[in-house]
Structure 1
Amino acid sequence: MGTMDELVDGDVVEQLRRTFRAHASSTRSDWSGLAAAASAVAGRPLRRRVDLVRDAIVSDVGSGFDLLNGVVDASLAEPGFRGWAIWPVTEAVAELAVGGAQGSGRGGEQTFEQGLELMRRLTSRLSAEFALRTFLLADPDRTVRVVQHWCDDDDEHVRRLASEGTRSYLPWARQVPALHARPDLTLPIVDGLYRDESEYVRRSVGNHVNDLSRRHPDVAVQVGSRWLTSPDGNTPALVRRAFRTLVKAGDERALAALGFGGTAAVTGPLLDRTTVQVGEDLEIRATVRNAGATRAQFAVDYVVHYRKARGPNAPKVFKIATLTLDPGESRELVKRRSFAPTSTRVLHPGPHTVELQVNGRRHGEARVELRAASSGERP
């Protein structure tokens, strides 16, 4: 069982039960569902543990959002009410708040917004970004209207939640179709945060726009370019983060917005060997010269076309350097690429191809044969 799975263990759940018992009404003083969950989480993956504890909380309070709202509100007075136990709490709050909001009339609207208010208050204890998806899936417009106000919150964790929780490709989170279909939906949020004083928030904003670029590159380029016309000292770095996928893809508009251009004379790639064994490194050399008449900036990457089990090779772009060169100036670059297997990439022995990419344009081509690790060796 991995370490991550143990973040929500029996002790964490039992402490949560004690906290809720101390602040619940007498009619729910036992919290038997949480007691059972404390014994049942062992041996399960983290996400399943969170779901199990969430379901236990919902079972213990029935359909009563008001009861859970009151218990969580009171528990927030305890400094120790924080950490990984908060994740299933946010999920239970979201489920009951959205469920309660399905009722008609003003009461349903109040329940929805009370649930979002608990997201705001809980997120400094542990990010509520995953639970926020429940609200977005139920009513994206109402959720975004509320979340937009968080951009002015004094707490950087709340401001980050506004951006992070509404990302279209938030890692490990449920997909929200509206975020893909309507790229303009969250623009008021990132527009309100791109000059935030907190790097923690700005990194999220950069990732948010980078997510947009995957399906809507035009929107991402327009947003980042607009920010660069009204920047502060942190804006260029934020936009570079937002454009990183576009730069790797060779998007000329993104490259131009970041100041890349000019004429490059490129030598390479030169490899230190023609065969490499799984688990070894490959050395890649290149020379880039400014062949233009003015000073220019170059984004230099290399592309490895990995062999797949079947079908065409899959290209993957890796960064080498960003260069600013005077006319006629050249720079030799050296990079090492590991061919050790990872949890995210399966390596298949056979021919691989390496190319250079400068300001989005491909240069040169070199082939290398990947061989399986020798018998008895561990890659």
Structure 2
Amino acid sequence: MEPFKNAIDATLVRTIGEHLQRADRRFARRDFEATALAGLDALELKDRVRQVAGALVATLPADVDRACGLMERSLGPPGVGDDLAALRSSAAGLGGWAVWPLTEAVSRLAIDAPERGLTALHAMTQRATAEFAIRPFILRHPAVCWTTLERWLNDPSAHVRRLVSEGSRPRLPWGLRLQPLVQDPSPTLPLLEALQDDPSGYVRRSVANHLNDIAKDHPALLADWLARHLPDASAERTALLKHASRGLIKHGDAQVLSAWGLGQRFRGELALSLAPARAQVGGALQLTLELRSRAAKPQRLAIDYAVHHVKADGRLSPKVFKGWVIDLAPREQRRLERRHSLKAVTTRRYHAGRHVVDLRINGQVLAEAFFDLKL
């Protein structure tokens, strides 16, 4: 798979320069491209975005309104539908990856002119996403932002409505952490309540992820949200709330499990086995679970497992993985199997040693097994 960073390359920089010069013949295109391209290939993704944005700040008009207006005129047609991947630059103007550095430039140029900056981001998010660029405005000008986001709840563009939720997520991956909202998410709750039944699945997925963010710091808030919004929910809202609950379900939160009918202790017998007993990085681990019900009634079971990875200092660090959600009939026996990859990934460094795997049913650890990992 092509690294994301390669999307911000020389061709993209020249495309940005072309459309900015189309929007204003006086734009210093050569200066912009020279500054943006200097050492670009050696940089990672976010540093590439920052460098191109810095080149924009250095060459756009000093007047905030003129600079924002020029960037707005360089944009292509707004996106239609939910698919971000379909947004790209064309002869008509900029879209997709090319817009990310523009949004970053807005967050620098217009940080002290929030109304003008938010207007520009409103246009840009319809051609890409402004979820990263809006976050400095939320921190610096919360009152202006909450008023604006409330107005955007009724925007005809799903991309704008998604920005209301995605841009204000407390712990947005890759984004600036909104620490005031980590501590107190209450300013965003009316926005999420208004958007949880949005007709766009794209918007609803963002609401689910936002609620999952909140649940990391305020699990009781999500439990209360489920108590108020899950009864008589539509299929679409139920799916949203289930996705929002995924973190707390994996970690065995009793209130959230109970809300989904998963709070009862497993009544029966089980056996967990792993193969091979000596595994190697790059291979895979086969998990086999044998269940036998001893209950006279059906049991709804959320079954997850945690791999306790060996750290560099020898300590064990658990990572929970999603397993199965099943309905086990009275006296039923069932065999479940799962292949767990041990391929190297950028987010985890493997260390040799004895690893523990524990099995969790409805949030309770009921079995353990072991395997030795070789590098």
Instruction: Determine if the TM-score, normalized by the shorter chain, exceeds 0.5.
Output: yes
Is 1:3 matched with 2:6?
Answer: no
The structural deviation recorded for 1:142 is: 2.3
Structure 1: runs of 5+ lacking an equivalent? 102-111, 373-379
2:37 matched residue in structure 1: 39
Match of 1:195 among 180, 194, 197: 197
Q: How does 1:1-379 map to 2 (within 5 A)?
A: 3-24=3-24, 28-40=26-38, 41-76=40-75, 79-99=92-112, 101=113, 112-264=114-266, 265-372=268-375
Going from structure 1 to structure 2, the CA distance change for 1:339 and 1:266 (only over 3 Å counts) comes to farther
TM-score between the two structures when normalised by the length of structure 2: 0.89
The structural deviation recorded for 1:23 is 1.9
- How far does residue 345 in structure 1 lie from its aligned partner after superposition? 1.3
Q: Cα–Cα, structure 1 residues 23 and 62, in superposed 2: closer, same or farther, change >3 Å?
A: closer
**Residues 200-223 of structure 1: per-residue CA shift (max 9 Å, x gap):** 111111111111111111112222
Per-residue deviation, 1:338: 2.1
Is this contact kept in 1: 2:171–2:177, CA < 8 A? yes
Shift of 1:327: 2.4
Q: CA deviation at 1:53?
A: 1.7
Mapped to 2, the partners of 1:253 and 1:359 lie a distance apart of 11
Contact 1:193 1:205 in 2 (8 A): yes
TM-score of the pair, normalised by structure 1: 0.89
- Does the CA contact (< 8 Å) of 2:265 and 2:364 recur in 1? no
Map Cα deviations across residues 221-250 of structure 1 (whole Å, 9 max, x no partner): 222332213521212211111011101110
| Aligned residue pairs, count | 358
Whether the 8 Å contact between 2:72 and 2:124 is mirrored in structure 1 is no
State how far apart, in whole Å, the 2-side matches of 1:340 and 1:229 are.
Answer: 41
Segments ≥4 residues shifted beyond 4 Å: none
Quick one: structure 1 residues 3 and 340, their matched pair in 2 at CA, closer, same or farther if it must change by over 3 Å?
closer
**Residues of 2 paired with 1:333 and 1:293: CA distance?**
21
Supply the distance in 2 between the matched residues of 1:263 and 1:43 (Cα, whole angstroms): 54
Kindly state the Cα deviation for residue 353 of structure 1 after the two structures are TM-superposed.
Answer: 1.1
Q: In the aligned structure 2, how far is the partner of 1:74 from the partner of 1:278?
A: 51
CA contact (8 A) 1:65 1:96 kept: yes
CA deviations on 1:146-181 (whole Å, 9 max, x unpaired) are 112222211111111111111111111111211212
Measured on the aligned residues, the alpha-carbon RMSD in Å equals 1.9
- With 264-273 and 179-188 compared, the bigger mean Cα shift is at 264-273
The answer as to whether partners of 2:65 and 2:116 remain within 8 angstroms in 1 is no
Amino acid aligned to 1:256: S
Quote the Cα distance in structure 1 between the aligned partners of 2:163 and 2:305.
Answer: 35
